Amino acid sequence: MKANRKPFSPGPARERIEAHWSYLCEQIGERRAGSAGERAAAEYLLDQFRRAKLETVHAEPFPCTTVGEARAEIALGCGRSLKPVPARVLAGSPGTPGRRAATGELVWVEMPEQAERLFQPTLRGKVVVLFGPMPTRADLHRRLVKCQPAAVIHVDDRLPFDWVKDDGVYPAWVRRYGMPPIVTIPYQAAWALRKQGASRARARIIAELKQGHSQNVVGEIRGRRPDLPLVLLGAHHDTQCNNSGADDNGSGVVALLELAAILGPERPLRTIRLVSFGAEEQLSVGSAAYAIEHRRETPGVGVVFNLDSVSSPLGHHWVIRAGTRVFGAWLLRELARAGLEAREHAAPMPFADHFPFSVFGTPAVTFLRPNMDSGMRWQHHSAQDNLENVSVTELARVVGALAQATRALARAVRWPFPRGLAPEQRAETARLGKELFGIKANA
């Protein structure tokens, strides 16, 4: 590795950025929670944190679900002529009973407007195609489990992809309510089948889940006043399956390492803690474990800046804000001064690692760079999320601006914004914290 030949650089360094990125995405590749790839990424981070001379460098392990074997044979069509369709097992899904194929009638349900159909007992033993988002409300997920379909086929409606996109189901829901066997298929395959009037399906799903463990990797730039709340910089080093996660979230991890290199040699007033979280893709499992474990630490975490998917060549810089308007306005001003014009989004957003901290009232943001109007990235969670589709320039821009904002806070005795969330965020944040993570804010 040439990564650290230069011990210090005043700004983001292209060569170093590329070396980290290539190690994570080419040497290691896929880094699914609990896998050998994820462990290798954590080892790399421990090593790099030490080389950057961070203090108290260590890993904090926590339990997570790991996927052993997972494959699906799905055939759809009319009558007896069923044709195979590429499919992927959703993380957390069980297999079809006895590893056998289930054959049955195909029922198309358009979500969310036809969600009421999940309340019909007639879905039992059938194969249900869900077109649109998976249920985002616990009661709907529970209904889906209760109707006992033989299998569920999910079709992601965010863009007409000809490849399979995959997300998971919230682990807390799977633990509490269970889950039917669920696979995803490409939008375009579903389109063609719908036009043909496909009405039957055969689904054989093999999925083996094990209890495993993941880890958060921690290092600190020690401040002169450890009695003051600290600044936490975060990212996640795990990926979804079948991709090298160059943007999601190799970009955030590389940015974190770059921040370590830039800020490491400084001696701030407040401590800056860097944490690379594991198992984010299973819904912020690592950051939730961390936020819960450290919630009583004093003086504790004063603010969280999390980086997740920040390197789209074309795109919009977003700041997902959990915190007051004053906090948001201060941050946007600070970023703009450093050459990063960002847009802010203030609705509670549980799909990133800043969220669990916000449930405890800590001001927290996630930096994100979507490239679609919907706030998504087209390459997200697919093999297209590779080093061909990232931008060093955009990554360096985020790093430079965030280094400046971090410095401003790390040298201040008083901060220009209050602790806590905006009043309009509180109820929804508490509900999501409880429903998705089982966090009770006051526990």
Report the interface residues with Zn ion, using CB under 5 A: 248-249, 308
Nearer to Zn ion (CB atom), residue 96 or residue 249: 249
Nearer to Zn ion (CB atom), residue 212 or residue 278: 278
Half-sphere exposure (Cβ direction) of 223: Cα atoms closer than 13 Å: 23
Query: In whole angstroms, how close is the CB of 200 to Zn ion at the nearest point?
Result: 37
The dihedral formed by the CA atoms of 239, 244, 245 and 246, expressed in degrees to the nearest 10:
150
Mark 227-242 as b/e (b = at least 16 C-beta within 10 Å).
Answer: ebbbbbbbbbbbbbbb
Q: Which helix (H) or strand (E) holds 109?
A: strand 102-110
Please give the Cα distance from 62 to 253 (Å, whole number): 19
Pick the closest to residue 395 from 264, 278, 245, 253 (CA basis).
253
Query: In whole angstroms, how close is the CB of 31 to Zn ion at the nearest point?
Result: 11
Nearer to Zn ion (CB atom), residue 167 or residue 208: 167
Half-sphere exposure (Cβ direction) of 66: Cα atoms closer than 13 Å: 20
Query: In whole angstroms, how close is the CB of 225 to Zn ion at the nearest point?
Result: 33
Nearer to Zn ion (CB atom), residue 22 or residue 249: 249
Is residue 220 within 8 A of residue 66, CB to CB? The reply is no
Query: In whole angstroms, how close is the CB of 280 to Zn ion at the nearest point?
Result: 5
Is residue 344 within 8 A of residue 327, CB to CB? The reply is no
Please give the Cα distance from 293 to 230 (Å, whole number): 16
131 contacts: CB under 8 Å, gap ≥ 6 = 108, 109, 110, 111, 155, 157, 190
Tokens (6 digits) for 248: 């999601």
Query: In whole angstroms, how close is the CB of 380 to Zn ion at the nearest point?
Result: 8
Please give the Cα distance from 316 to 340 (Å, whole number): 10
Is residue 48 within 8 A of residue 260, CB to CB? The reply is yes
Give, to the nearest 10 degrees, the angle between helix 252-263 and helix 392-410.
50
Nearer to Zn ion (CB atom), residue 308 or residue 394: 308
DSSP state of 79: T
Nearer to Zn ion (CB atom), residue 66 or residue 251: 251
Nearer to Zn ion (CB atom), residue 212 or residue 370: 370
Please give the Cα distance from 100 to 69 (Å, whole number): 15
Query: In whole angstroms, how close is the CB of 231 to Zn ion at the nearest point?
Result: 21
Nearer to Zn ion (CB atom), residue 249 or residue 271: 249
Query: In whole angstroms, how close is the CB of 165 to Zn ion at the nearest point?
Result: 14
Query: In whole angstroms, how close is the CB of 351 to Zn ion at the nearest point?
Result: 8
Query: In whole angstroms, how close is the CB of 368 to Zn ion at the nearest point?
Result: 9
Nearer to Zn ion (CB atom), residue 35 or residue 249: 249
